[in-house]
Structure 1
Amino acid sequence: MKTSSQVGLGFRREHLDQFQPGQLPQVDFFEVAPENWMTLGGRLGKAFRAYTEAHRFIAHGLSLSLGGITPLDQDFLKQIKAFLDLHQIEWFSEHLCACSDAGHLYDLMPIPFTDEAVFYVAGRIRETMERLDRRIAIENVSTYLAHGHTMSEAEFTCAVLAEADCDLLLDVNNVYVNSINHGFDAQAFIEAMPTERVRYIHIAGHHRETEHLIVDTHGAEVDEPVWALLAHTYRTHGPLPTLLERDFNLPPLAQLLQETETIRHYLQQSHPLSAEAC
């Protein structure tokens, strides 16, 4: 799938009433959070199974807490693996962050960009891949506070990818959000990512609080600067599978499909450049 110009859409429960399994040929793949689906049974469980039998699905985790301080939840990993196996989902990704302490924090919390954190998080990623029996991708997350950093986010991300020997889910919107919030060059971040590790791309909308503060909401249309950064990403790394995230303020399906067609337009217009990556 990585070598083709495919367009994906985040699958939400509302979509069960908006199209039938086997329809929507303009969407090449769907993404789900296992946490939202793996405990469903009955009518909803059967309905979801019909969609995964008819379409290609990938999975994007929300709560493994790869950067957390408590041991990885082994029972939870078993649940995720069973879900992936049942629905024949090969691709799994998670956030490069912490989201738990003594309990779940229900947010994606930043972790310090340090050498120690590189080795710590990479070890947990390797353990996750072993337990899931899959190579996984990690996603760069949006952050609003910088603490204890001894390297840049780009340097940290590259170091974790190399140490863990895993792939990258490159969230272009998060790169743009962080570039405004923390004052760095978004294009330079994109160029620093190793092309051979970028498995696929996320793009989404955000909310601008102030001139220097953007919140990653997944609740609005993709903003023009993010489209421009996506085009730069394709010029740098070539066309890659790209997924539209929309979690809140869900518009009619037809409106979402207009945005996925915009992604397809940029993919078709992309021309890779040779760029040196870490």
Structure 2
Amino acid sequence: MVINGSGLGLRRGMLEEMSELSVQQVDFFEVAPENWIGLGGRFGKAFRALTERFPFACHGLSLSIGSSDPLDVEFVKAVKQFLNTHQIETYSEHLSYCSHNGHMYDLLPIPFTQKAIDHVVGRIHQVQDILQRPLILENVSTYAKFGDMSELAFTLEIVKRSGCKLLLDVNNVYVNSINHQYDSQAFIQSLPTSAIEYIHIAGHFDEADDLKVDTHGAPVKDDVWQLLKLAYEIHGVKPTLLERDFNFPSMDELLAEVNHIKALQEVEYA
């Protein structure tokens, strides 16, 4: 099923509450396939019941597209089988790496260099050939910058050469614009509309005036809502997902943020 509208990240700790939601309240869910592949029992049964009712997107955590380690081909094949089993068309990952001689359980920044682009593009082609669908890559939050290119130039060349799609994380754009002192609006304006498959929005932590930390553990801040509105004005309304990974509020509070997305999507843009 194809995703549309406003969605919510499915978290196992809130599975019971989320299973009670209707398609009028949430248009789609998103999960990390690593957390559900091969899962049986009551969790597996509950998950299958949801995929039969709702469109789903998969947002992976361990592909490690920028790693120097060999691509884990068997893992990619397992993801493809999972997608096919649950009729999920949308598979996204992070434009980062999380392994070097084993998993490091963090999303680390790829150096913004031409050599890194060549490496990543080749690996994207491998993944897309196995999945038989476009790989969707998310711009990630970073706290250090390496290489001689801008994040924007690096991202644009990867999209152009690989044919991959983009998952535009609006909160990450905001966080990076503060941490690395660039224009968040210009970044969003410069992205190719046709490449943006869907959008993430989330909360962050204000460590300092010049340091923001992408936590997914707080409500979305006003500056980020304004960037989402700008993204719709420039690129049109795209499916948009609210991420919340811890410090879970009540379901009513989560749905209020989902409804805020819906309200922005219903505005008619010229």
**TM-score interval, smaller chain:** over 0.9
C-alpha displacement at 1:16, in angstroms? Answer: 2.3
Q: How far apart are 1:133 and its partner, in Å?
A: 1.6
Provide TM-score, normalisation by structure 1: 0.93
- Looking at structure 2, the residues matched to 253 and 37 of structure 1 have their Cα atoms a distance apart, in angstroms, of 22
In 2, Cα distance between the equivalents of 1:172 and 1:263?
13
Give the match for residue 174 of structure 1.
172
Aligned pair count reads: 270
- In the alignment, what sits opposite 2:12? 13
- The residue aligned with 2:93 is 94
Deviations 1:111-138 (A, max 9, x none): 1111111121011111111111211210
Shift of 1:14: 2.8
Given that 2:4 and 2:28 are in contact with CA atoms closer than 8 Å, whether structure 1 keeps it comes out as: no
Task: Give the CA deviation at 1:266.
Answer: 1.2
Number of the residue aligned with 1:213: 211
Matched, 1:256 2:262: no
For 1:22 and 1:51, locate their aligned partners in 2 and report how far apart those are by CA, in whole Å: 10
Letter in 1 for 2:224: V
Residue 121 of structure 2 is matched in structure 1 by 122
Give the RMSD, CA atoms, in angstroms: 1.5
| Aligned residue number for residue 139 of structure 1 | 138
For 2:178 and 2:11, the matched residues in 1 are separated by 29
Instruction: Output the CA distance in 2 between the equivalents of 1:175 and 1:77.
Output: 28
Distance 2:131 2:68 in 1: 20
Structure 1 residues not aligned, in runs of 5+:
273-278
Structure 2 gaps of 5+ residues are none
**Structure 2 counterpart SS, 1:18:** helix
Mapped to 1, the partners of 2:252 and 2:20 lie a distance apart of: 17
* Residue of structure 2 in register with 1:25 after alignment: 24
Tell me how far 1:25 sits from its aligned partner: 1.9
Query: Which amino acid in the other structure matches residue 80 of structure 1?
Result: V
What residue in structure 2 maps to residue 197 of structure 1? Answer: 195
Question: Could you tell me how far apart the structure 2 residues matched to 1:170 and 1:126 are?
Answer: 20
Q: TM-score, normalised by structure 2?
A: 0.96
Aligned-partner Cα distance in 1 for 2:18–2:124: 36
1:183 aligns with 2:189: no
